[in-house]
Structure 1
């Protein structure tokens, strides 16, 4: 209780300091400032229309004199022009073109306000449902890149992992691990929040979210001080579909395929000030078969070699589900509340059938062992959110309180069955039980205060406290034969309980300003203090982890040019606390030739990011060029040694330094509103070094990493739509070797019917390839390992979607806020039991 009171006092003290009134006065220029402003709304709903392109035209020649892009609230400002007669043209895919009558700008009347501009959707309204045409798949905003997943029909029947593969600047491997510009240390939010399930394992959490529920993916490469300091690579925000509805509706979506099926139901009810949402879906994966090959060669001190060959057939089955209940209430014009409860489950069974291990000393076979390995990775979680927001008459002024409680229960077990010498009967078995629980409680306060009378200066400040607790109860058992009783191993290294408490208290301030008409500035400073307490049930294992405080600055600059072109530069410092996978001391020995164990004493990583980008727009083309440099110190890297029985043992230390020099290029082309093509190329040069001097353990590696994607969409007559997608990731440089590259592709055709209430389609994935094979390599002075993972993921599927009920859309009157926690460094290459996925 004493600690809690101290935390609350800290939070309110920070707010009290930040809440001192600040004044800003606008300086008037001696020369007139020519400016045209307006706000773009959608006809019928009066909802703001973001990201429309606005052009200032010469009525006689039709030449463009200036340009701009509407912001998220549909507002735009045209500047950088002089006295004259003009027309304004507004374009956005899915809406009819808007053209004003002639506007006269003089020195005596330099400012003109168009007021509200109403755009008309190209599609017609059906009963009470408004259907709009397809917007651009990729949009460029001042501080983020947005991928509109709701317009990608090839994603039907997929999950969030499939969506991520289509997003520029992101790369996703075959296991669903996401990286941004080569860094896997990223903050992943869902509607601005992060739950314990995402903190536990991002790749598995993404598989619980169906693609049909995702509206867009926002990629923020240079986060401001408002965001948590974690996430070296940046921030990814998954925005799910939300409607401001009056009435009731039920939406059914399903997919059945060769390797997976899903079924989802979502209902909405809105009457007056109160709204309810109830939704759920389940997804099953089956018939996922593949292969595993491993060749590891160990060189002994006397120069002799030991060569181990492993082969196995693999089988995977999985079941995912997520269910949620949401509530919102408009108290009055200025106050509203939201609350939600969500439940999720993730059950995975991974099997290696006939894992044959042959050991050769020099050229002579010395042993041959046959095993069956059965791994269970089970997970269930609950999230409870409550948010209160107060707005004011002054535009953009807002105060909010957000809270989150999240609990994630995990079971990560394996049974390794060893056959006798004739490979006919099971001689013995080893079992590892690893039960875990991750809990979070978060309170966050945010205040947005525009300075002065205009919108060119905004001050944001707030405070946050996150209490986390992770527990792992692990034990090893042995048994004789196929039905003998399991007996627990009495060894604290194999059977113990581990708890890890983390308390992060933070305060931040961020200042945003527009200066000299076309220049933007956003600067901020965040301070975070982290206290850690780790403990084993058995006191013989000591863990003393010191507390630490960090200042995290950020700076974003922008320069607008004519026609909406923009140049941006940014710097920020990020911290990456070690993910629980790296910390968990449970020994993972599902494959007895390659075992791993986490390190509870790891420190955080620190990264400095520098970035510059340029975006340009034409009538049908969008281009973005970005270059960046990232420097990480105290990088968490694996340390691999050879144990006495020639087993490769992996743990983790803060011994690495990483430098990455990268670039990304992406483009989007739209022709006549029927055909669109977009693609991107991402690449970086990685320079890694673990900083050790002992030649047996010193390691460094360098090389280029490239990835690319291409998406095409064509709208056919009679409500048919054809879409295709392809993705490729090249060989990935790692400190001690490399991870193999791979590619995938898909084709989808979709037909809408019954006044677009329903759709049915057919999809095919990787239809020219029977099995993907990914080759990974590990090289140290005394270890050479090459492994090949095969997966048969050719898939054919049928998709069906239908909407029941009538909706009337109303404009959103508020921005929804919520808790956005980032947890810690993801991955761990197999370290650990309950707090990771094997």
Structure 2
């Protein structure tokens, strides 16, 4: 890319200084204006070349002025006009006959990655780039996410879906790795995707959907990787934007993106504050079944049926800030340091109405109140060094990153009778739960790139991730005789967990003719180490939980992860119109600390989640074949994929054999290793721009998974087919008002125990630019029909349960964005072209 920049600048200056001598001989004028398509701003110093169609050696040209205008006189004849600008697409106007003055009007240029393995598809709502191992979706001007969060933005990305609880899936698989700017980050919540619901969508530049990751990336994530690239300004001087959001239910936010750039350094910062209330609703209707004991006697449940209605008010306040400086040491090297900080305060109040039935009659009604407060402090320190040895791509980068997250959570629980048919009902215990989590993570990384000739290169690198998480859980329950709170020794514990991953990789890529390939191999060593400090002995733990618990474990796994990615260009013009991609990679799914911790965490007195310290990592082999075809106004992409996973994770529910003080069975959810999980699917996407005022975008994903395996003598094998689809339209109305509609539908899904109904939702947005397009006003409604609810039916040998869950109600948001000094985009010296490497980098 650097070679192209120097070449283009040389041509530009040569044409500029030779312009006057040529202009004197030409009787006809060729003129126009060149604009940045995305920023809608003039492009200064764009190169306009005038080539004689009958004699290609006869070339002249001009560069645009500060307003993007150009004008040049040429003799009468037929010419090819070529408009170019550094890092932008090139536009051509062939066989233009000049026998009088010719005006080309306004010419818009979009960004161009100019890579041997990339095909760029332009659209205003999104820009789609297809590379050897990934697809890149620029969030662009997605109106429906204005005032929203990163999770909202991801839910509009093809192949990606965000469920009603904030869980992120890629092609229907939730084991997806989230990276920020190519690295694990505190901004992504150390793998907790719910944190993404606290970061503003305006911070995103683009999202890379990496379904066939190259060896450069972690092998974690059997579904693949979502790499979120944050915005970085390239404009010289002081510039930025301020964003104000207001909404209902209560939603208020203020954020600013500021940047000061000179030829020697760049200072950048992103700061934000947000307050919101996100009401949550949950309903369940559970029928407890009669069962037999070992002697064949019927065991009747205390209650035949329990209906629960939960309403939660969630008040959240969070602050986040990122400040950094990039210093250009030389023309070829730079050093970047940044600090990210996030602070959050949450207050959740939950009311749980429980109706209990026997013989079809209501026999008891209780109200459970739960008040939960949480404080979350996290920060991240990052240092990056980059050295380009030459202009051909020979470079070395090194990264160091330290992250710390401290979270304190207090929960107060009280339950009372509203009505009961008991003569002397036993009182409920008052409870207080205290949880403190402290997490630290270190990242050390080095990457080396060596070009081998014009169309090939070799890469190698090292990455080390070292993570420690300490969870202090303490449960205090009321002594009904004295009224005092007493520590529950069975559940109180301290869990000290370590995950250390060391990895080496190398890969080689090249292109010859229409064929490009990237071959890589990654070696990873994983250590999962845990130490549980319990107040009970091993014998007491067995008596309390019914099975042995490893209070100490130290598991090591060494794995080889090969990757193969291919592109074949079918079109005759160098692959700009049609190509086929083929990918293979091997991946790992490591159990996280929450999945391993054997001590229960409770969503209610009757439902607990319990980790499994014996959980082994899952390994998957994935194959992907993709096809892209682009016409002038229509782009079509499609792919088929297959994945075979061993020791796959599955969450199952079972009866613990224990009861609450009032005789209700306690149900446990636990993750287990099943034998295999096979996934087969296909997806397609269509981008259609029939007119300047209308843009359409749709995608469809169909998948089938089949699991096999059993646990505790129960067969949990299942086979399910499902699908999801999304549609987006953007219409420019009279008065330059943009109107966007997004619709999403996820088909029914089921596993061995649970069936989920389909979910349909629709978002609407209106947007208007004012004050010389420096201010954007947006109004959007997310979940217009208030229909994003998960309705499911669960059936086991102990109970049948119907449930409905709504994570967030319909939202209306108004957003104002003010931009200043963001009129011109320029490349910085001594730096990489953003994070989108023009070669084979993943």
Aligned residue runs from structure 1 range 435-446, under 5 A:
435-446=436-447
Partner of 1:659 in structure 2?
678
Give the CA deviation at 1:200: 3.8
Equivalent residue number for residue 564 of structure 1: 577
2:587 to 574, 577, 588: 574
User: Which position in structure 1 is the counterpart of 2:130?
Assistant: 141
1:614 aligned residue (615, 627, 645): 627
**Structure 1 residue 689 displacement after superposition:** 2.1
2:152 is paired with a residue whose SS is helix
TM-score (norm 1): 0.79
1:751 is the counterpart of 2:768: yes
Which residue of structure 1 lines up, in the alignment, with residue 327 of structure 2? 329
Matches within 5 A, 1:744-823: 744-767=761-784, 769-770=785-786, 772-790=788-806, 793-805=809-821, 809-813=825-829, 814-815=831-832
Asked whether 1:549 is paired with 2:558, we answer: yes
How many angstroms does 1:446 deviate by?
Answer: 0.3
Question: Is 2:445 the partner of 1:448?
Answer: no
Q: State whether residues 622 and 641 of structure 2, in contact with CA within 8 Å, keep that contact through their aligned partners in structure 1.
A: yes
The match for 2:486 is 487
**Do the aligned residues in 1 keep the contact of 2:278 with 2:809 (CA within 8 Å)?**
no
The 1:354/1:139 distance shift into structure 2, 3 A limit, reads closer
Q: Which residue of 1 aligns with 2:658?
A: 644
What is aligned with 2:433? 432
How far residue 717 of structure 1 moved from its aligned partner, in angstroms, is: 4.8
Query: 1:817 Cα shift?
Result: 8.5
For each residue in 1:515-544, what CA deviation from the matched residue of structure 2 results, as whole angstroms up to 9, or x when unmatched?
3x0111111110011223211224745322
Aligned to 2:72: none
Residue 807 of structure 1 and its aligned partner are, at CA, apart by 6.1
For 2:840, the equivalent position in structure 1 comes to none
CA distance in 2, matches of 1:819, 1:529: 28
User: How far 1:591 sits from its partner (Å)?
Assistant: 0.8
Question: 2:282·2:803 contact (CA, 8 Å) conserved in 1?
Answer: no
Moved more, 421-430 or 588-597: 421-430
Cα deviation digits, residues 782-836 of structure 1 (max 9, x gap): 332221124662232221111245665321442278999xxxxxxxxxxxxxxxx
Residue equivalent to 1:457: 456
Distance 1:347 1:183 in 2: 31
- Name the TM-score, length of structure 2 as normaliser: 0.79
Q: Per-residue CA shift, 1:560-590, capped at 9, x if unaligned? A: 0115201111111000111222123342123
Computing the radius of gyration over CA atoms, which structure comes out larger, 1 or 2? 2
Of 188-197 and 802-811, deviating more is 802-811
* 2:758 aligned residue: 741
CA RMSD of the aligned region, Å?
A: 3.6
Is this contact kept in 2: 1:196–1:438, CA < 8 A? no
Contact 2:180-2:187 within 8 A present in 1 as well: no
The 1:816/1:545 distance shift into structure 2, 3 A limit, reads farther
| Shift in Å, 1:473 | 0.5
Question: Using a 3 Å threshold, how does the CA distance of structure 1 residues 134 and 817 change in structure 2: closer, same or farther?
Answer: closer
Q: In the aligned structure 1, how far is the partner of 2:592 from the partner of 2:758? A: 25
Residues 314-463 of structure 1: pairs in structure 2 closer than 5 A: 314-315=311-312, 316-358=314-356, 360=358, 368-420=365-417, 422=419, 428-451=429-452, 453-454=453-454, 456-463=455-462
Whether the 8 Å contact between 2:37 and 2:108 is mirrored in structure 1 is: no
Residue number in structure 2 paired with 1:11: none
Give me the whole-angstrom Cα distance separating, in 1, the residues matched to 2:793 and 2:247: 33
Q: Does the 8 Å contact 1:187/1:236 carry over to 2? A: yes
Q: Report the more deviating stretch, 367-376 or 333-342.
A: 367-376
Measured at CA, do residues 308 and 284 of structure 1 come closer, stay the same or move farther in structure 2, by a change above 3 Å? Answer: farther
CA-CA distance at 1:673 after TM superposition: 2.9
CA contact (8 A) 2:793 2:801 kept: yes
Q: Map Cα deviations across residues 402-429 of structure 1 (whole Å, 9 max, x no partner).
A: 1110111123443321114658998531
Which stretches in structure 2 are left out of the alignment for 5+ residues?
1-6, 13-32, 44-52, 55-77, 97-105, 111-121, 539-549, 660-664, 838-842
Distance 1:788 1:553, change over 3 A: same
Question: Where does residue 478 of structure 1 map in the other structure?
Answer: 477
User: Following the alignment from structure 1 to structure 2, what is the Cα–Cα distance between the partners of residues 426 and 254?
Assistant: 49
Q: Conserved in 2, the CA contact under 8 Å of 1:403 and 1:819? A: no
Report the CA distance between 1:738 and its aligned residue: 2.6
Deviation at 1:263, TM superposition (A): 1.2
Q: Which runs of 5+ in 1 are unaligned?
A: 1-36, 50-58, 61-84, 103-118, 124-132, 821-838
Q: CA deviation at 1:203?
A: 2.7
Superposed CA offset, 1:614-667 (max 9, x none): 110000011011111111111122243212322111222223421111010111
Answer 1 or 2: higher relative contact order, Cα 8 Å, separation at least 6: 1
- Tell me how far 1:89 sits from its aligned partner: 8.1
| Change in 2 beyond 3 A, CA 1:797/1:262 | same
Aligned-pair CA distance for 1:366: 6.4
Provide the C-alpha distance between the structure 2 equivalents of 1:154 and 1:47, rounded to a whole number of angstroms: 18
Query: Matched residues in 2 for 1:247 and 1:481: separation?
Result: 68
Residues in 1 aligned to 2:229 and 2:604: alpha-carbon distance in whole angstroms: 38
Please state if 1:525 is matched with 2:521.
yes
**Deviation (angstroms), 1:549:** 0.5
Residues in 2 aligned to 1:629 and 1:791: alpha-carbon distance in whole angstroms: 31
Count of matched residue pairs: 719
Distance 2:595 2:695 in 1: 43
1:99 has 2:93 as partner:
yes
Report the secondary structure of 2:602's partner residue: coil
Report which stretch shifted further, 523-532 or 143-152.
Answer: 143-152
The SS at the match of 1:537 is strand
Contact 1:279 1:323 in 2 (8 A): yes
Q: CA deviation at 1:391?
A: 0.3
Q: Secondary structure of 2:554's partner? A: coil
1:502 is matched with which residue: 499, 503, 512?
Answer: 499
The residue matched to 2:213 in structure 1 has which SS? coil
Match of 1:281 among 272, 294, 306: 272
Shift of 1:199: 5.3
Corresponding residue for 2:67? none
| Contact 1:757–1:803 (CA under 8 A) maintained in structure 2 | yes
Shift of residue 338, structure 1, vs aligned partner: 0.7
Task: Answer whether contact 2:177 2:191 (CA < 8 A) is retained.
Answer: no
Deviation at 1:595, TM superposition (A): 0.9
Q: Tell me the distance in 2 between the aligned counterparts of 1:801 and 1:136.
A: 17
2:728 counterpart of 1:706: no
Q: 1:395 to 1:359 in 2, by over 3 A?
A: farther
What is the match of residue 254 of structure 2? Answer: 263
The DSSP-based 3-state class of the residue aligned with 2:647 is strand
TM-aligned CA distance change 1:387 to 1:555, over 3 Å: same
Q: Distance in 2 between matches of 1:411 and 1:758?
A: 40
After superposition, the Cα gap between the structure-2 partners of 1:630 and 1:370, relative to the gap in structure 1 and judged at 3 Å, is same
Contact 1:185 1:233 in 2 (8 A): yes
Quote how far apart the aligned CAs of 1:373 are.
Answer: 2.4
